[in-house]
Structure 1
Amino acid sequence: MNSVLEGFQKLFDKAKSAPAKDRACFSLSDPSAPTFTKNQHYLQILVNEMYLAKARQWWVEYDPVVLVVPSYIYGTQTSAVPMVVGPMLFKQYSSDIGDGSIIRNAPVTGLHPYRGGSLTLTVIFNKVQRVNNSDRMLQALESITSVASPIAPTIPFATYLKMAGSVMGGLEILFDLPETKPVIAYRETTNPQIDQTLKPSYLVLIDAPGITKEEQSKFKVVDSQLHYQDESKGLIPYRQNDFIVLQIAQGSHRTDESVLPFYPIWLETQRLGLQSRNVDALWQEAKTHFNTLKVAMYESPDLIKSDVKFYYDQYFQELKDIRQGAAADAQLKAGEFALGDDYQDMQSKAKSLDELDEL
């Protein structure tokens, strides 16, 4: 176990050993859901729903802070992904309801390929008293982890992983403060290599004494909301206690390739292809860039195999179209053949722009 993982283990052990009554922690899953398959599925962790009752004096006396640390294989090694869910994320995703505040569908991680092996999910829910600048320290930590936000990351995910040690150091200081009180601590590892099943599921953490198995069966997630089967009212949104619902989500295709590290290589390949008319050296350079792009996609830790093929085929066809268009452009100037209506229209507009040079 590397030092970062050991650090988060210590944070969990400390929170778990704090004097507190047992809290309810259980999973909800669809038995018919497909299991995660290595290199064929994406994995993402979300805060599906988090509810805070006003009775706990949240935001006045205390700030909520949830440390979510998924640990799984990214690239070629097991990595811990620390994300701090605090006031900053609440401002972005929360809405007030009659008796409290709630956030829904806030992503904790990006969409990453499942590379096999185990998934460990550590969750530590604390309340941080708003005194002695502890809330400012929380704000600073949340700002650090936000640079790898799956919504609008400002740095590559691999770069953020290198910062995990710094994040852990700040969390150790924050969690050691007397103003920080643990509410719930939970940790679970699912390892398909020993016949444990890893499927899309929900992890329910409720700030209440242990709930029996019979009562757990009355809970259900509907439209991203935790519901409870009440004997008299039927299936109703659960609002009796503070709670967190985490989702282990599954995907099979990415459509956000433009934010991935290899995408600038494709943009440069396009540019060279578009400029290569009658300049063979530029076309040769475009092909070299395309080969570099191919290697980058095959080695990317962010794509499953089917998406590597999907985007390779798409970019290959686009580059062919660019080259054929450039050749047709040159031949049109030589009057060698007539083109389709779409291309002639583009040429006509380009000629009109050329005529403006005389103004």
Structure 2
Amino acid sequence: MAPVIASKSLTLSRDLPLDSGQALAGVQIAFETYGELAEDRSNAILICHALTGDQYVASNHPITGKPGWWERMVGPGKVVDTNRFHVICANVIGSCMGSTGPASNAADGQPYAMRFPVITIRDMVRGLVGLLDELGIERLHTVIGGSMGGMQALSLAANWPERAARVLAIATTARHSAQNIAFHEVGRQAIMADPNWRGGDYYGAETAPDAGLAVARMAAHITYLSEEGLTEKFGRNLQDRDKKSFGFDADFQVESYLRYQGSGFTQRFDANSYLYITRAMDYFDLAEEHGGKLANAFAGSRARFCVISFDSDWLYPTAQSRHIVHALNAAGAPVSFVELSAPFGHDSFLLDVPALDRVMKGFIDG
């Protein structure tokens, strides 16, 4: 069970209304900032993280000690240049790195656990907008997000159209498909089938549902990669042996890799948060939120958009990005679109793809 850690944190001054009809009081938002905020507050960039991400976009992770998940992109002189821009990255509500979530204490002083209300992507963005309000930032220079972060960027543009001048959505979708929901359900069931889950009430116990969470991570991680990438990296190579064991140990390198990914994930993430965040992603459907027509979501937008997909991404394939672009065109919103070639699958937005750097920098600086 991952410990709750936050660097910067503030408590929202107003209750946070949720799509479920409930509200959260005393919501804490944990965040990191990089670069100086201009006197006129015009140079703020909000970066939204993906499902298993956090606020440590360009600083070492306090649990793993690893560099920030987008350190190659964010920093002095980099694509998101902190010599020019004030960059904000916040942990979404429902997560486990300091923002209010299932591991947080409720009014009775005990962890919410499964008493935490089911949330949506729009609820997460309400929390981010609340943070911007507390920081006195009325309009962002750019909001950026990949994967679930892209959903947040699109949601902000649709529901708070005055809050961002530029919207950069990468490797994302306007709604979760049946296949996406199916993969998430496998992960949730793995967690809930773990006897150490205890109906979500494992906080303070000696054991947590780490085995179930590890399996969930393994299943999800497969969707972030491409067949080409897996074949090139692992093929059918055996792991630390000359022949098959004729057993169920990790004979193949790819099996060992997935087990490593699953085990490491349990050290930095909370199983209940995984349940809540994947459910929020499954509920995401911008068209449904706006009368059943995606173009309606962007009808009042005052932003410029850039949508980026990758040819090897089968989790959120290019067709889903094109669907967003067509809706933006129908709404009369200025949008640029590019499909980039990369062998890494969905995770391409996190890895070294020089073409992505060029497109992003051109859009942010333009």
The normalised TM-score by structure 2 is 0.22
Decide which structure has the larger Cα Rg and report it: 1
Higher strand share: 1
- Which structure has more RCO (C-alpha within 8 Å, separation ≥ 6)? 1
The normalised TM-score by structure 1 is 0.22
